[in-house]
């Protein structure tokens, strides 16, 4: 009599050593697609990490090896050298807690966004102050304690400069008014 052949094991057998579980949970390996996605995210985070200023990288709770790799990346000049160093940084990041890096990058981006917003606000005030004397009253209401005489003088000079012919304009008063507004807006916050 012929012996029945044993059935070959299938993926549904639930052998932990092959990474699968019939109970569907604890032994599941991430898919290739998921692993690739995670590696791309780490690559992008690594690129953001090397873009951080040195003083922010020094304070991060990362391994010394990763810190040295970032410094080496910044010293590297060739395209191929930078590409390889970035791959190495990505490899090292897999062994580090990336959450502090994410937080540092987010804080840096938020700071830049706030700076850009402050510049737009200063520009808006400059346009309003040059267009209308009522804007000066609003400015003083929002920024008490400012040097009203200096502000009036800067507005007058900027208006005079704007009224001059293009050959006679130097733009200095316009820039000085912007600097005054920017400095006093920052102090007010």
Average pLDDT of the chain? 79
Q: What is the pLDDT of residue 25?
A: 52
Q: What is the pLDDT of residue 90?
A: 85
Half-sphere exposure of 90 (CA within 13 A, CB side): 16
19 — pLDDT class (breaks 50, 70, 90): very low
Of all residues in the chain, the percent with pLDDT exceeding 90 is: 7
Over the stretch 38-67, which tens digit does the pLDDT of each residue have? 888 888 888 888 888 888 888 788 888 888
Determine the average pLDDT of the residues in 64-85.
Answer: 91
| Closest C-alpha among 87, 101, 93 to residue 51 | 101
Determine the average pLDDT of the residues in 65-80.
Answer: 91
Tokens 């109970």, located at residue: 23
| Closest C-alpha among 182, 72, 91 to residue 174 | 182
CA–CA separation, 47 vs 62, rounded Å? 15
In this structure, what token pair is assigned to residue 107? 């804080």
| Closest C-alpha among 118, 97, 99, 119 to residue 107 | 99
Position 16 pLDDT exceeds 80: no
pTM for this entry: 0.47
Q: What is the pLDDT of residue 84?
A: 92
DSSP state of 16: G
Listed in sequence order, the DSSP H helices in 132-171 are: 134-142, 148-163
Position 86 pLDDT exceeds 60: yes
CA–CA separation, 108 vs 71, rounded Å? 18
CA–CA separation, 51 vs 80, rounded Å? 18
All domains of the chain in start order, with CATH: 32-97 (1.10.60.30), 113-188 (1.10.60.30)
Position 8 pLDDT exceeds 70: no
Evaluate whether 97 touches 61 at the Cβ level (below 8 Å). yes
């Amino acid at each position: 009599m012929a012996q029945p052949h044993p059935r070959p094991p299938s993926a549904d057998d639930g052998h932990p050593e092959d990474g699968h579980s019939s109970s569907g949970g604890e032994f599941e390996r991430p898919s290739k697609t998921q692993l690739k996605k995670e590696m791309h995210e780490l690559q992008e985070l690594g690129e953001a990490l090397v873009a951080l200023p040195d003083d922010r990288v020094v304070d991060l709770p990362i391994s010394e090896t990763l810190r040295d790799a970032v410094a080496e990346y910044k010293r590297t000049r060739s395209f191929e050298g930078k590409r390889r160093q970035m791959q190495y940084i990505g490899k090292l990041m897999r062994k580090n807690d990336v959450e502090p890096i994410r937080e540092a990058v987010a804080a840096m981006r938020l700071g830049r966004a706030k700076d850009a917003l402050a510049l737009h606000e200063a520009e808006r005030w400059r346009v309003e102050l040059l267009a209308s004397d009522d804007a000066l009253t609003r400015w003083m209401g929002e920024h008490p304690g400012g040097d009203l005489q200096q502000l009036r003088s800067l507005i007058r000079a900027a208006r005079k400069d704007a009224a001059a012919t293009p050959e006679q304009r130097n733009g200095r008063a316009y820039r000085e008014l912007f600097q005054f507004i920017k400095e006093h807006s920052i102090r007010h916050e």
